[in-house]
């Protein structure tokens, strides 16, 4: 049997026991990539074979050489009787926003098309140390700026393995797709407004955004520095817990990483949900969306299956002994996106300042007179639409004459959003929640090109997730069924600071209770062909 | 013509003498290093890397704030100052803005005429330095070695009233920085850099008129000259009925002229916001108290105490408090000597300072320690050796080490204690010099000096001059 059907835990266990060679595991996964992924994203894919339409295109670069070295090292250790680590021989794909020595790190932008970092992100380093095989760099929205992965400068963009005419979500779209398409059991993504959870929901996998500071940001090319969180994407909750265990912990290279002790996440899963208080909020059964003409906010309903999935999950957990707390108020949830529009753009614009064509990456080849022209031409040619829009917006709302009205105000609203959660999780409070259960997204995966181009609408697909980034709290999205079109539905648990263990427990309890549900036997479209032939 | 008053505020950039840079582990000082050899991914602004604050910069910044009598901020923040320039690899400078490490404060200047002058400090903040660019053969070159070097920017209120006062401020600031050990304050190496804000007003007025900012005045002479030039220019302009415009001026030290860099009317918007990659800098009440407690007595205070306690002249007190190790040396020597402090200061002002000049060492670096100096002075004062021997001992101890008394013993430098032997020598000289004896006895008493000289020559300088004089008189007048 091909190891692509195994969980990360099973692979590591078998490799450590000498029952399975890391090299074989790698070859199985490389074969799967060859079968389902199609051409990698690149700057030059002008005209494509129509057959590529049905491929996943999760990767920008498959790092066969690097992964093979790592697999050999794991095997040597096994032969010597040494422990290669908890992820021994487990292929992990890495969102191409993490610097990895020995790979090109593009951020899916032309401006970094040739950037080869001389260092490796702390999270990737920890994966390598745990025996993981870094199998490749996955595609994403340019600089992570998007929710569909379509805005990558490296085309073709990833397609949803469940229906390749649909988007993967984003920005960790390539990561989610690679896990769903069994190209890797685990992927490392980042979540700034929902970029792990939303694509995880769209692709039917587990995506965990840890507490801010739980995982190091060192080596992650920054989007919104006060919001960015690296985290795992996996096919089940236990694998996500295993990967978080490896990633979590203080990093002296990241001043904002947390000192808080790291619990044993896998052990915590076994504790069940009996007595846990799980909240539901009416503020999460709809979205608030601005009218494009008037700017007035109007309430819009979300896809009905999302709300029924939340109900179903709540019922399952209640049967397992959890206490369901209804009507938890989250009055500031509706400010999440406007606040995010301001804060993330200010940080993004500043973080993009360093890409100027002077030191590394793309530099215009047009003749320029002077510095200003060099900057202008390089950035005009090197950045796609999303970085440009975000620079404009970020510069506008942080300008001296606007800062009080936008940026400073957004910071205050951000703390109001956090106070909603503080109230809900307060152990002496009215609600005393252990987790808040919500839909992950307002809809299932939308059609390609359907939303692309409407930056505001695109951003609103993060309305359910973004509050967690403002508040800095952990949240996990897990699969909770399929909609009538056969597209995955995700639900999300928010938790309190550094209590990833609690939300993983709830997620795991649901996963176990629905282990034999019919929908769990469905196979993503992109895999059906290779499944038949396999 | 009306009388004008010059109004000056100074903005100084002080390079802290920490071992490593402010946000990475590169060496802080790369003086003389090849371009781009003292850099890492953090200070050269590669994507994905993060700053980590060097806490020693906070301690030194706070110590400087304490020395300026500023309020040490218990919670200060780093902010991003966004602008594009090739010497700024991140496209923003990490600096402190509205909540800096130190707020307010003052420095009292000791003016040469004996008066003192209080200069208020507006604020002190920590920041990283930028790199350097230059144009060579039509190409713009950039060197990031200096990126991330820790600086304190300190801004005064417009309290200085002349080029001389500005020069005094810098001189005394430089002394203070070295004194409290936060900076080498070497202006030639850019450890202490200065921008001057200059305006003029009619004497007696209290308004603040439009000012110009002079950049790159990086020696004390340059500050003095640039302010004189600029105030002259402003006075002439106003006298000619022109309005002063808010320029930034560049001081060209080679030609001694000011060049207009840019009009400041359209000031850049740096879009400051809190640096999300760093935590707030929190100093507890205990930590602040510790910093204040570790602050040494300041030069101006010690100077006053030296005048008071040791009856030094203002001039001697200035010299002896010009540098901390020198002034510590002095106090320690006085204590060990136990006699008149004035005697010790005479030795230090003359002979020790000559020794320091000759060897190029600071007081702290001398091999001759205060205990040696005190011993030498005690031997001279006690008549065990003559002053010339004492002076030569300074050099001997410095060159070869050893205890002064042992050197005297070993080299037989002690004065002739045997009075009979000395009397015999004197009698012999008198016998050999009948002509001089006659002249002396005839009233030419100035010849006594000549006789003393003869005794000294014959004894190899080991005769006690006082006793020699007495014995000579005794025998000559016989």
pLDDT tens per residue, range A192-203: 999 999 999 999
Q: Is A133 helix (H, G, I), strand (E, B) or coil?
A: strand
Query: What are the pLDDT tens digits along chain B (478 aa)?
Result: 689 999 999 999 999 999 999 999 999 999 999 999 999 999 999 999 999 999 999 999 999 999 999 999 999 999 999 999 999 999 999 999 999 999 999 999 988 888 889 999 999 999 999 999 999 988 889 999 999 999 999 999 999 999 999 999 999 999 999 999 999 999 999 999 999 999 999 998 999 999 999 988 889 999 999 999 999 999 999 999 999 988 899 988 888 888 888 665 556 799 999 999 999 999 999 999 999 999 999 999 999 999 999 999 999 999 999 999 999 999 999 999 998 899 999 999 999 999 999 999 999 999 999 999 999 999 888 878 888 888 988 999 999 888 888 888 887 777 766 677 788 888 888 888 888 888 888 888 888 888 888 888 888 777 777 778 888 888 887 6
A486 contacts: CB under 8 Å, gap ≥ 6:
A162, A163, A522
Please tell me which of the candidates A217, A352, A399 has its beta carbon nearest to residue B269. A399
State the pLDDT at residue B405.
85
Judgement on whether residues A472 and A371 belong to the same structural domain of the protein: no
**What are the residues whose beta carbons fall under 8 Å from the beta carbon of B337, sequence distance 6 or more?**
B343, B344, B373, B374, B377, B378
- Domains in chain B, CATH or no CATH each: 4-291 (no CATH), 297-411 (no CATH), 419-476 (1.10.10)
User: pLDDT tens for residues A146-187?
Assistant: 999 999 999 999 999 999 999 999 999 999 999 999 999 999
Q: Token match 């402190």: residue?
A: B96
Of chain B, the end-to-end C-alpha distance in Å amounts to 79
Is the domain of A70 the same as that of A195?
yes
Q: Does A374 reside within a domain?
A: yes
CB burial of residue A261 (10 Å; 0-12, 13-18, 19+): exposed
Residue that terminates a domain, selected from A407, A423, A450: A407
Distance from CA of B83 to the nearest CA of A (A): 8
DSSP string covering B375-410: HHHHHHHTTSS-HHHHHHHHHHHHHH-S-HHHHHHH
Whether residues A399 and A516 share a domain: the answer is no
Interchain CB distance below 8 Å, A354 and B84: no
- B10 closest CA partner among B243, B168, B190, B239: B168
Kindly state whether B381 is in contact with chain A, defined as any CB-CB distance less than 8 angstroms.
Answer: no
| Per-residue pLDDT at B264 | 55
Conformation bin of residue B85: beta by default, left when phi > 0, alpha when psi is -120 to 50 = beta
Q: Does B46 touch chain A (CB under 8 A)?
A: yes
What one-character DSSP code corresponds to residue B295?
Answer: P
Of the listed A93, A109, A151, A171, which one is catalytic?
A: A171
Residues A40 and A169 in one domain: yes
Rounded CA-CA distance A144/B441 in Å is 109
**How far is residue A152's CA from residue A163's CA, in Å, rounded to a whole number?**
19
A398 in the same domain as A474 = no
Q: Is there a single domain that holds both residue A442 and residue A397?
A: no
Is residue A418 one of the residues assigned to a domain? no
Do A474 and A384 fall within a single domain? Answer: no
What pLDDT score does B417 carry? 62
Neighboring chain A residues of B41 at a CB cutoff of 8 Å? 117-119
In a domain, A146, yes or no: yes
The reply to whether A469 touches chain B by the CB within 8 Å rule is no
Contact B362, B336 (CB under 8 A): no
pLDDT above 80 (res A373): yes
Active site residue A195: yes
Once rounded to an integer, what is the mean pLDDT over residues A323-341? 96
Give the torsion through C-alpha atoms of B260, B263, B264, B270, to 10 deg: -100
A498 exposure class (CB count in 10 Å sphere: 0-12, 13-18, 19+): buried
Q: Shortest Cα distance from A255 to chain B (angstroms)?
A: 6
Please indicate, yes or no, whether residues A192 and A238 belong to a single structural domain of this protein. yes
Model confidence band, residue A33 (pLDDT cutoffs 50, 70, 90): very high
CB contact under 8 A, B89 and A218: no
Q: Catalytic one among A95, A137, A178, A461?
A: A95
Under a CB-based contact definition with an 8 Å cutoff, are residues A236 and A473 in contact?
no
Query: Cα dist. A225→A210, B304, B419 in Å?
Result: 15, 52, 89
Residues of chain A contacting residue B91, judged by C-beta atoms under 8 Å apart: 350, 352-356
Cα separation, A208 vs A440, in Å, equals 11
Predicted local distance difference test score (pLDDT) of residue A355: 97
Predicted confidence (pLDDT) at residue A498 exceeds the cutoff of 90: yes
Q: What is the pLDDT of residue A533?
A: 47
pLDDT band of A339, cuts 50, 70, 90: very high
Interface check B51 vs A, CB under 8 A: yes
Q: What is the 3-state secondary structure (H, E, C) of A265-296?
A: HHHHHCCCCCCCEEEECHHHCEEEEECCCCCC
On whether residue A462 sits in a domain, the answer given is yes
Pairing relation of β-strands A91-95 and A133-138? parallel
Is the preceding peptide bond at A167 cis, omega within 30 degrees of 0?
Answer: no
Task: Tell me the CA distances in angstroms from A17 to A13, A78, B157, one per residue in order.
Answer: 6, 8, 72
**Is residue A170 within 8 Å of residue A196, measured between CB atoms?**
no
pLDDT at A46: 66
Whole-number Å distance between alpha carbons of A54 and B134: 54
CA angle A356, A358, A363 (to 5 degrees): 75
Q: Mean pLDDT, to the nearest integer, of A293-308?
A: 90
B360 touches chain A (CB under 8 A): no
Of the listed A109, A195, A238, A398, which one is catalytic? A195
Strands A435-439 and A277-280: parallel
Residue A138 within a domain: yes
Instruction: Check residue A455 and give its pLDDT.
Output: 74
For residues A300 and B26, the model is more confident at: B26
Which domain CATH number covers A130? 3.90.1300.10
Mean pLDDT of A475-488: 98
Catalytic annotation present for A211? no
Q: Alpha-carbon distance A88 to B288, whole Å?
A: 49
What is the total count of domains within chain A?
2
Q: Give a yes or no: residue A121 inside a domain.
A: yes
Which of A288, A289, A393, A387 shows the shortest CA–CA distance to A341?
A393
Contact B271 A360 (CB under 8 A): no
Q: Considering the domain boundaries, does residue A332 fall inside one?
A: no
Q: Give the DSSP letter of residue B23.
A: S
Residue numbers of the domain that contains A191: 3-277+436-533
d(CA B367, CA B386): 22
A369 and A518 assigned to the same domain: no
Look at residue A414 and tell me whether its pLDDT is greater than 90: yes
Among A204-208, A459-463, B243-247, top mean pLDDT goes to A204-208
Residue A530: which pLDDT band, with cuts at 50, 70 and 90? low
Whether A284 maps to a domain, the answer reads no
Give per-residue pLDDT as tens, A344-356.
Answer: 999 999 999 999 9
- pLDDT (mean) for A83-100: 98
Q: Which residues pair with B153 in a beta bridge?
A: B13, B125
Residue A171 bears catalytic tag: yes
Does A441 share its domain with A389? no
Residues A512 and A374 in one domain: no
A453 and A378 part of one domain: no
User: Is residue A534 over pLDDT 70?
Assistant: no
């Amino acid at each position: 049997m091909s190891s692509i059907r195994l969980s990360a835990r099973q692979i590591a266990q078998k490799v450590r026991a000498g029952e399975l060679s890391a090299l074989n595991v790698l070859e199985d996964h490389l074969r799967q990539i060859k079968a389902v992924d199609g051409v990698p994203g690149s700057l030059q894919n002008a005209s494509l074979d129509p057959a590529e339409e049905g491929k996943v295109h999760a990767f920008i670069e498959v790092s066969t050489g690097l992964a093979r070295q790592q697999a050999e090292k794991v095997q040597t250790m096994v032969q010597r009787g040494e422990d290669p680590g908890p992820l021994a021989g487990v292929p992990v794909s890495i969102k191409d926003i993490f610097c990895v020595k020995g790979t090109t790190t593009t951020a899916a932008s032309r401006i970094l098309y040739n950037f080869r970092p001389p260092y490796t992100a702390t999270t990737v380093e920890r994966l390598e140390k745990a025996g993981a095989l870094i199998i490749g760099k996955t595609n994403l929205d340019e600089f992570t700026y998007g929710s569909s992965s379509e805005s990558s400068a490296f085309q073709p963009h990833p397609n949803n393995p469940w229906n390749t005419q649909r988007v993967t979500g984003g920005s960790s779209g390539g990561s989610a797709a690679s896990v769903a398409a069994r190209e890797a059991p685990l992927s490392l993504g980042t979540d700034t407004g929902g970029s792990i959870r939303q694509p995880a929901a769209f692709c039917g996998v587990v995506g965990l955004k840890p507490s801010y500071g739980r995982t190091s940001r060192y080596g992650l090319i920054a989007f919104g520095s006060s919001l960015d969180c690296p985290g795992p994407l996996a096919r089940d909750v236990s694998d996500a817990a295993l990967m978080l265990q490896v990633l979590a912990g203080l990093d002296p290279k990241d001043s904002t990483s947390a000192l808080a002790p790291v619990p044993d996440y896998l052990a915590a899963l076994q504790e069940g949900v009996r007595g846990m208080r799980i909240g539901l909020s009416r503020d999460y059964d709809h979205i608030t969306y601005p009218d494009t003409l008037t700017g007035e906010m109007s309430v819009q309903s979300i896809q009905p299956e999302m709300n029924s999935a939340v109900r179903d999950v709540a019922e399952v957990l209640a049967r397992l002994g959890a206490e369901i707390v209804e009507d938890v108020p989250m009055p500031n949830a509706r400010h999440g996106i406007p606040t995010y529009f301001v804060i993330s753009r200010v940080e993004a614009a500043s973080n993009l300042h360093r890409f100027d064509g002077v030191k590394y990456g793309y530099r215009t080849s047009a003749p320029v007179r002077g510095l200003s022209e060099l900057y202008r031409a390089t950035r005009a040619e090197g950045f796609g639409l999303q970085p440009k829009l975000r620079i404009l917006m970020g510069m506008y709302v942080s300008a001296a004459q606007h800062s009080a009205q936008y940026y400073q105000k957004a910071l205050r609203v951000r703390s109001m959003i956090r106070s909603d959660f503080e109230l809900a999780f307060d152990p002496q409070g009215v609600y005393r929640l252990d987790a808040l259960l919500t839909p992950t997204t307002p809809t299932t995966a939308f059609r390609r090109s359907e939303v692309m181009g409407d930056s505001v609408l695109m951003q609103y697909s993060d309305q359910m997730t973004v509050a967690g980034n403002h508040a800095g709290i952990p949240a996990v999205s897990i699969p909770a069924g399929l909609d009538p079109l056969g597209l995955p539905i995700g639900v999300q648990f928010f938790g309190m600071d550094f209590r990833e263990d609690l939300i993983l427990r709830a997620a795991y309890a649901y996963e176990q209770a629905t282990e034999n549900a019919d929908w769990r036997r469905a196979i993503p479209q992109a895999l059906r062909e290779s499944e038949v032939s396999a | 013509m009306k009388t004008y008053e010059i109004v000056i505020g100074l903005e100084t950039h002080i390079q802290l003498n920490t071992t490593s840079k402010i946000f990475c582990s590169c060496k802080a000082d790369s003086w003389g290093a090849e371009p781009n050899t003292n850099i890492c991914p953090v200070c050269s602004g590669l994507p994905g890397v993060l700053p980590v604050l060097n806490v020693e910069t906070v301690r030194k910044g706070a110590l400087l704030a304490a020395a300026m009598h500023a309020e040490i901020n218990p919670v200060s923040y780093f902010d991003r100052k966004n602008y594009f320039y090739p010497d700024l690899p991140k496209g923003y400078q990490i600096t402190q803005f509205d909540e800096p490490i130190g707020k307010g404060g003052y420095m009292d200047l000791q003016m040469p005429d004996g008066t003192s002058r209080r200069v208020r400090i507006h604020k002190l903040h920590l920041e990283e330095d930028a790199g350097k660019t230059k144009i060579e053969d039509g190409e713009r070159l950039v060197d990031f070695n200096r990126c991330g070097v820790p600086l304190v920017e300190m801004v005064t209120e417009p309290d200085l009233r002349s080029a001389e006062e500005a020069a005094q401020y810098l001189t005394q600031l430089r002394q203070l920085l070295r004194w409290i050990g936060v900076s080498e304050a070497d202006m030639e190496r850019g450890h202490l850099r200065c921008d001057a804000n200059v305006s003029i007003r009619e004497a007696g007025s209290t308004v603040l008129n439009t000012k110009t900012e002079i950049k790159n005045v990086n020696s004390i002479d340059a500050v003095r000259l640039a302010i004189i030039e600029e105030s002259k220019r402003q006075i002439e302009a106003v006298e000619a009925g022109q309005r002063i415009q808010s320029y930034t001026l560049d001081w060209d030290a080679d030609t001694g002229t000011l060049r207009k860099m840019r009009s400041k009317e359209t000031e850049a918007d740096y879009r400051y916001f809190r640096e999300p990659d760093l935590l707030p800098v929190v100093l507890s009440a205990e930590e602040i108290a510790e910093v204040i407690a570790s602050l040494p007595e300041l030069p101006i205070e010690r100077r006053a105490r030296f005048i008071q306690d040791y009856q030094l002249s203002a001039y001697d007190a200035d010299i002896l408090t010009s540098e901390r190790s020198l002034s510590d040396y002095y106090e320690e020597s006085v204590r060990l000597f136990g006699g008149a402090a004035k005697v010790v200061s005479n030795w230090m002002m003359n002979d020790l300072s000559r020794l320091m000049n000759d060897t190029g060492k600071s007081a702290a670096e001398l091999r001759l320690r205060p205990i040696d100096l005190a011993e030498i002075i005690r031997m001279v004062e006690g008549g065990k050796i003559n002053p010339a021997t004492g002076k030569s001992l300074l050099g001997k101890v410095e060159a070869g080490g050893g205890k002064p008394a042992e050197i005297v013993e070993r080299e037989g430098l002690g004065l002739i204690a045997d009075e009979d032997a000395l009397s015999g020598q004197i009698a012999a000289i008198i016998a050999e010099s009948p002509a001089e004896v006659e002249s002396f006895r005839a009233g030419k008493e100035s010849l006594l000096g000549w006789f003393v000289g003869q005794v000294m020559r014959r004894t190899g300088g080991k005769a006690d001059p006082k006793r020699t004089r007495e014995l000579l008189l005794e025998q000559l007048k016989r």
